[in-house]
A and B are shown apart, each in its own frame.
Chain A
Amino acid sequence: MRFAEFTPYDIVLLLQGLGVTVGLFLITSLIGLVIGVLWGIVRFYRVPVLMQVITFVAEVLKNSPVLVQLFLVFFGVPAFFKLNMTPVSAAVITLSLNTAAFVYVIAVSSIESIGRDQVEAARVFGLSRWQVLRHVIAPQAAAFSIGPLTALLVNQLQVTSLISVIGVLDLAKIGATLNLRTLKPFIVWTAVGILYYLAAKAVASLGAWAEKRLRAHSAFRGL
């Protein structure tokens, strides 16, 4: 490839990369949130066997490098099960599960932060376990978990850059491509870094906004 100067079209490329990164981040965060919360509910109900399986899976996901998980899903699983796996599917599966594992931890600790006394009161008045979860535990656990969740998501946004190594055309991959073409690493990576930073800032502000709203709702906490 010939080296070439920057062109206005590179901005479009960068924005496309940003779009892929943000899109994958949003999808995997959503899936991860749903799965992580469901796992938390399974644990709340103390479903035998399933609960142990989930705890084990979450442990493994939390304590192994995302890159290794990504290679396992992208190279290992297709080879072993003889099926096709696109880079994007591998990225979605890996990042979703990884996010789920951390959401699960946050869900469990938020549920456990709710005082036993309130839960007992609700049970005594005849509310079912589900009704207690829905009306007493969930609203308070949500307020409690929003801070840790925001921190997690900001981190997971950075983690998405790992998927560039399996060929997904995300922001980091576009950065690498531009760098090869222009041989101007300082400018390219500064631009890419700023874009990641702005995206992370957006996530953090959204989290702060949600937290503020939830807290306004929960003036009771005296936080």
Chain B
Amino acid sequence: MLKVENVKKAFGPVTVLDGVNLTVNPGEVVSILGSSGSGKSTLIRCINGLEKLNAGKITVDDFDVSKPKELAEARKRSGTVFQLFNLYPHMTALQNITLAPIEVLKRPKAEAEAEGRSLLAQVGLGDRADAYPAQLSGGQRQRVGICRALAMKPRYLLLDEVTSALDPEMTSEVLDILAKLAKDGTTMVFVTHEIEFARQISNRIVFLEKGVLLVDLPTEKFFADDGGLAQPRVAQFLSKMRKD
């Protein structure tokens, strides 16, 4: 279980997360919606230990990310896919994928590479293993980013607007893969602006507004008039997103 309890995070005088509570059970897909600047990325960065909490607690399978000794274990259990891919530019697609399994999990190189190749094949990049990031399109880079996270066999996949930097065609390349992962029962925390897609794959949808988790509802209920839509901010956000 991934548990966010009463988390507060401020940058100087600016409070970005203000008492956030969120639980993600194994097998669930939870989408996080919210306008830009509402604190979605910060929440993800708190979960994977890139930001220190000001208050509250985050545990990944009972490993506390705020305790240096437990962070390593917590990080082994979650895999992050970044909005801007964050690939290592001096490494090939395959090397990007195998670096952490070899260095952190101490997997034998040949084994890690075989697995890396098979992951690449699954996302339709079987023939691009030796390409450098600069030689790949955005959609291909993000697919490598997903493989890199999956190679660590994480229990929780954290995805922060992974299609925001992509054009519609590349977006659908990537969403297809995520849909397949969701269908296979991968646990995901999915920050997105792709509302229709979130609706299709999520078990639950939460809505973040100015650092406060306003709504946390099963997907059906979130889009129901007497559910999420009863919240004026949610209704406003959804209608604005649909117009764009």
Contacts and interface: CB of A to CB of B under 8 A. Distances in A.
A162 interface: no
Nearest to A138: B90
Nearest to A142: B90
B100 A120 contact: no
A59 to B, nearest CB: 30
Interface residues of B, number: 26
B90 A126 contact: no
Interface in A9-60: none
Contacts of B79: 125
A127 B99 contact: yes
A141 to B, nearest CB: 10
B134 interface: yes
Given A220-B133, A221-B134, A120 B104 contact: no
A5 interface: no
B104 A220 contact: no
Contacts of B132: 219-220
Contacts of A118: 86-89
B89 A220 contact: yes
Interface in B50-77: 50, 72, 75-76
Given A126-B72, A220-B133, A143 B90 contact: yes
A124 B133 contact: no
Interface string B70-104: 00100110011010101111100000000110011
B90 A140 contact: yes
Contacts of A126: 72, 75-76, 100, 104, 152
A124 B48 contact: yes
B90 A220 contact: yes
B49 interface: yes
A124 B89 contact: no
Query: For this complex, into which size category does the number of interface residues on chain A fall?
Result: 20 to 34
A139 interface: yes
Contacts of B75: 124-126
A196 to B, nearest CB: 36
A6 to B, nearest CB: 54
B152 to A, nearest CB: 6
Interface string A138-179: 011001000000000000000000000000000000000000
B148 interface: yes
Nearest to B134: A220
A121 B80 contact: yes
A201 interface: no
B134 A124 contact: no
Nearest to A136: B88
A127 B75 CA distance: 10
Nearest to A121: B86
9 contacts: A122-B88, A122-B100, A123-B49, A123-B50, A125-B148, A125-B149, A127-B103, A131-B104, A220-B132
